[in-house]
Chains A and B, each alone.
Chain A
Amino acid sequence: MMTNNNSEPKYVIETQDLEIYYGDFKAVTNVNMKIEHNKITAIIGPSGCGKSTLLRAFNRMNELYAGTSIKGNVIFNGQDIYAKEVDPVEVRYRIGMVFQKPNPFPKSIYENIAWTARIHGYKGNMDELVESSLQQAALWDEVKDKLHQSGLSLSGGQQQRLCIARAISIKPEVILMDEPASALDPIATLKIEELMQELKKNYTITIVTHNMQQAARASDYTAMMMLSGEGERSGTVIEFDETKKIFTRPSDKRTEDYVTGRFG
């Protein structure tokens, strides 16, 4: 069981010398990062530098990939989530995730949310929960007349918002988003960004993105990742600061090159 030691620590998630391995391959090394309450933290960096890997380590999703292991700690509300007594299921319940590729369950729109709530023992009014979750995800108006159609019959952007609705229906404390807008058109992307600003009031959000404007527009903090260290094969966070600073006065030359598009 995880308990809040401090009444309200400033940082929801804190990593300490985090290293992540796929078998013998060290994909991410030496990450020390603090994620603040009710803020949006963006993770940017070139492809293959370990952004998804790092994000998955925040809610132990990486354990679903064979052969992964970590060193160091991930502290959530003062509790090490990799400690023996912590159940990964509870970690994922409290730290939700939205994936790069929209992945609604092959069930109805309604059931996507209802099933999720039911497995966590939700006993309240299901119709209300479905409606409020879809409303928060800015999807309600588009689907309210076809709640019992398959979630897979929606467009890509709608599916992604359904996944967000599903994630927030169980009121997690943190939402991790892995490039949630990478497959979407600019309008749907903007919708998701607006949505994030709305969700920020109640949730802490961490988002991986390749879209510099998106990171600059939508986030409060930005972590810049890059391959470095042993033979340039492991990714690490080379700079972590307020978004404003990262995009205007970065202290690392590599960050400057990357955010201004001069990288690679």
Chain B
Amino acid sequence: MKEKAVVQGFANNLDWRNRKGVFWHVIFQASTIVGIITLITLIFNVIDSAFGYVAYEARVDPDTLTMNGIPLEEQSKEQLVELLQSTLSSGAYNKLNNEKSFEDRSREEVFQVIVERIIRPKVVRVWDLWPSLTQADEIRATVAQDFPKAELDFVSWLTRDFVTRPQTSEPLTAGVRTAILGSLWTIFFTILLAFPIGVGAAIYLEEYASDNWLNRVIQTNINNLAGVPSIVYGILGLAIFVRTLEPLTSGKLFGLVDLTTANGRTVLSAGLTLGLLVLPIIIINAQEAIRAVPRSLRNASYGVGATKWQTVWSHILPNAMPGILTGTILAISRAIGETAPLVVVGASTAISFDPSSPFSKFTTLPIQIYQWTARPQAEFQSLAAAAILVLLILLLSLNASAVLLRNRFSRRF
């Protein structure tokens, strides 16, 4: 193209402007790449620990369990049950039988019980995924040399059993069912508290509150509360829900004290504490969503003589709902991952029974992960990695269901 004649007072600086554009383009792209690399490293790190070779030794050698010359693997179910009966104490045997009678168990299930209760494999060494893939031969050689009696298996620490088994102290049989249920119960109460109150407060502040100093103070406080460290909410929850409202949160008020409840350190207290934690976030996001409803829609509604409530209920809320739900998703994701406030509120360190009511003791996935990572043995790091994967999957599926819900709202017209 022929160059434009220079007009007096204007610099012909297109080249320079384009170069500047490219410069910023590169900067922004680099930021994105840094973010992606961080994410990949994180995921790789988790996956690396969650899979790999495990060397384990039997505490009781299966060869000693041969019966009439038949090796353990080939024994019939009846023989296996007999073995259990003769090896375990009668109390332990009856307990197992009460949980599910041996008649109803399949041979595989009985065999599993024998592995867990008699053979009791013990992890002697674990390897991460990367060495397991690249140095399998060396690993095999090491095991053959150092642990001649050990078996070497490639395991995925994240299995269906891992998700459905309760917590135990035995790494090979530990699961996260208790923690998952604890997390779900907790989040349920968090949503129950924070969503209606948060949306209600946002409606009030946006649609009803007049612009006076009191409401401005309230607004400023809410904005600041969203930035308060979560541990502070933990202390607040401890003071309010665990101590002051103990009769309520422990279930005493409803005559529901069972011996396992721990003085208000319950699922209910934890959920309400997290509810307080995310309340400001939900309010702020909902306010933003309500503010984004166009003025023309409000005009249309008020212009046909609708009352404030009719306008809010029929137009403002439905139109703000996708935004409100997006904000709520973010808030809930944050609550699911919180650890510190729950430690303060009194998450249990080791419980193997599932939470069954609002007044149950609890542990949650992040707490479980925290406890496992605090153990020195490598196998617990692997368990923690698997639990992190469960937490991520739980988060993603909760988010996905919220997104579906949101899309249903926005598809209306």
Contacts and interface: CB of A to CB of B under 8 A. Distances in A.
A103 interface: yes
Which 7 pairs of residues, A with B, have the shortest CB-CB distance? A93-B305, A103-B296, A150-B413, A97-B303, A103-B300, A92-B305, A106-B413
B44 to A, nearest CB: 45
Contacts of A116: 304, 306
A99 B296 contact: yes
Given A99-B299, A101-B296, A152-B413, A106 B305 contact: no
19 contacts: A61-B302, A64-B299, A93-B304, A97-B303, A99-B300, A103-B299, A103-B300, A105-B297, A105-B300, A106-B319, A106-B412, A106-B413, A116-B304, A116-B306, A119-B305, A119-B306, A119-B307, A166-B304, A167-B303
Interface residues of B, number: 19
B236 to A, nearest CB: 35
Contacts of B306: 89, 116, 119
B300 A163 contact: yes
B413 A108 contact: yes
A96 interface: yes
Contacts of B303: 59, 61, 92, 96-97, 99, 167
Given A107-B413, A152-B413, A89 B305 contact: yes
Contacts of A45: none
A13 to B, nearest CB: 16
Interface string B290-313: 000000111111111111001000
Interface of B: 211, 296-307, 310, 314-315, 319, 412-413
B310 A105 contact: no
Given A64-B299, A103-B299, A96 B413 contact: no
How many interface residues does chain A have, given as a range?
A: 20 to 34
A170 interface: yes
B296 A105 contact: no
A201 interface: no
A142 interface: no
A108 B301 CA distance: 15
A190 B13 CA distance: 50
A246 B315 CA distance: 42
A66 interface: yes
A101 to B, nearest CB: 6
A92 B302 CA distance: 7
Nearest to B297: A103
A38 B66 CA distance: 107
B161 to A, nearest CB: 49
Contacts of B314: 115, 119
A114 B385 CA distance: 57
Nearest to A166: B304
Interface in A191-215: none
A127 interface: no
